[in-house]
Chains A and B, each alone.
Chain A
Amino acid sequence: MASRNKRLAREVADCQKDSSKSGITIRLVHPDSLDKFVGTFPGPQGTPYEGGTYEIEIEAPEGYPFQPLKMRFITKVYHPNVSSQSGFICLDILKTSWSPVFTLRTCLVSLQSLLSTPEPNDPQDAEVAKVYLTSRERFDETARYWAQVYAGAPSSTSPNGASESEGGEDKQGRRAAQLAGIDWGIADELGAPWVVRFAEMGFEPRKVVEVLQLLNYRADNRERVGHEAVLERLFS
């Protein structure tokens, strides 16, 4: 235990020394315990995450460094290998490929590079991975929007900045759908404002999309289906 703590204390100190260069920071959650940390790193350049700052919850197990660190995104991030709900990460080095030469800092660097190189074929969030594989454009737009809303990225990094001026209900609906982690291509097609309206009643947004698709609740068909039928499905 003593050696584990000594090593961890040194890692935190070393990281503080070069944090101005790397942009990576590590701090203790409780000043007198070396079990939990919060790490941060900047979103990698040239990605939708650029300009954002990502906070990671880190837990060092008792067997560290012979057992892997546990890491989770605190900052919400839209990425195939990170759960958009819980922040859990799918990354081999934190599981089967752990090595005792890894440190708090090198693991944060690995997460940073995971953001630039998604592995959609080994996803943590299947929904996000599906969008990534079907439309990079839609994926990038949502990931960028999440970076702005949750990670503090400036909205000027958006190449679609021009179209950012407050649009109508459709635009707002699309934004809300994006925040809910819905493939907004599908939300747009169903009519994003309707999707959002049901979601705002407290239903899981992804379930709303599922039900609306199932009932073909769109355009002229909406009246025929009726929103009672939708609610009934949602409650079942």
Chain B
Amino acid sequence: MKITINNYHAIALWRWNLKAGLQQHQPANAQPTAEGEEEEEEEDDDDDDDVCGICRVAYDGCCPDCKTPGDECPLIWGECTHVFHMHCIIKWLDTESSKQQCPMDRRPWVTAGAAAPPPDAPPAPRQAARVA
């Protein structure tokens, strides 16, 4: 059998590569599994891992002030390994009550890297499968 392809329409899916971001930005002595807060209870809303704790929108979505996800609304890592939309954490750090602390663990916020790793880094297969 012969198939002639006349034209095709490529569709791509992307996600922020959170794992790579973690490895890249994580200081050697950080504990990535340390759960800081008392409100973390046994039952986890299973999408809680994938949402920005400040706006509660998915990391792959954009913060409430942006229209397009992606480079326009990048993620940002703290040295404590917590991740937020960059715009969200900036809004928080701008308030007086933030005391320049990470909202998750109240340690002084130190940005670990300028932005997320490039989205073209190979995504983990499981993540790709989940999106598809």
Mask for B47-70, Cβ within 8 A of A = 1, else 0? Answer: 000000111100000011100000
- Docked Cα-Cα span, A6 to B88, in Å, equals 15
User: Which residues from chain A contact B56 at a C-beta distance below 8 Å?
Assistant: 7, 10-11, 103
The verdict on A45 contacting chain B, using a C-beta distance below 8 Å, is no
Asked if residues B53 and A100 are in contact (CB atoms below 8 Å), the reply is yes
- Chain B residues lying within 8 Å of A99, measured Cβ to Cβ, are 103-104, 106
Residue B43, interface by CB 8 Å: yes
B118 to chain A, nearest CB (A): 27
Contacts of A110 in B (CB 8 A): 38-39
> For the complex, is B4 an interface residue (Cβ under 8 Å from A)?
no
- CB distance A3 to B97 under 8 Å? no
- A221 near B: Cβ within 8 Å? no
* A100, B31: Cα distance in complex, Å: 22
- Contact status B106-A101, CB under 8 Å: no
Asked whether, in the complex, the Cβ of B106 is within 8 Å of the Cβ of A106, the reply is no
Known: A18-B43, A100-B53, A100-B103. A6 touches B64 (CB 8 A): yes
CB pair B38–A113 under 8 Å, yes or no, is: yes
Tally of contact residues, A, Cβ under 8 A: 26
Residues B39 and A66 in contact, CB atoms below 8 Å apart: no
Within 8 A of A (CB), among B59-94: 63-65, 88, 91-92
- State whether A100 touches B41 (Cβ < 8 A): no
Which residues of chain A come closer than 8 Å to B38, judged between CB atoms?
A: 110, 113
A65–B54 contact, CB under 8 A? Answer: yes
The answer to whether the Cβ of B45 comes within 8 Å of any Cβ in the partner chain is yes
Closest Cβ of chain A to B13, distance in Å, is 24
| Interface residues in B14-43 (C-beta closer than 8 Å to A) | 37-39, 41, 43
Q: Which residues of A contact B45 (CB under 8 A)?
A: 14, 18
B6 lies within 8 A of chain A by Cβ: no
Answer yes or no: B7 CB below 8 A from chain A CBs.
no
Q: Are B92 and A109 in contact (CB under 8 A)?
A: no
Would you give the shortest CB distance from B9 to chain A, in whole angstroms?
33
Are B106 and A66 in contact, CB atoms less than 8 angstroms apart?
no
A2 at interface by CB-CB < 8 Å? yes
24 examples of A-B residue contacts, CB within 8 angstroms: A3-B63, A6-B64, A7-B55, A7-B56, A7-B64, A11-B56, A18-B45, A65-B54, A67-B95, A67-B97, A99-B103, A99-B104, A99-B106, A100-B53, A100-B88, A100-B103, A101-B54, A101-B103, A101-B104, A102-B39, A103-B39, A109-B39, A110-B39, A113-B38
Complex A-B, nearest 10 residue pairs according to Cβ-Cβ distance, in ascending order:
A3-B64, A106-B39, A101-B53, A99-B103, A101-B103, A100-B54, A100-B103, A66-B95, A7-B56, A100-B92
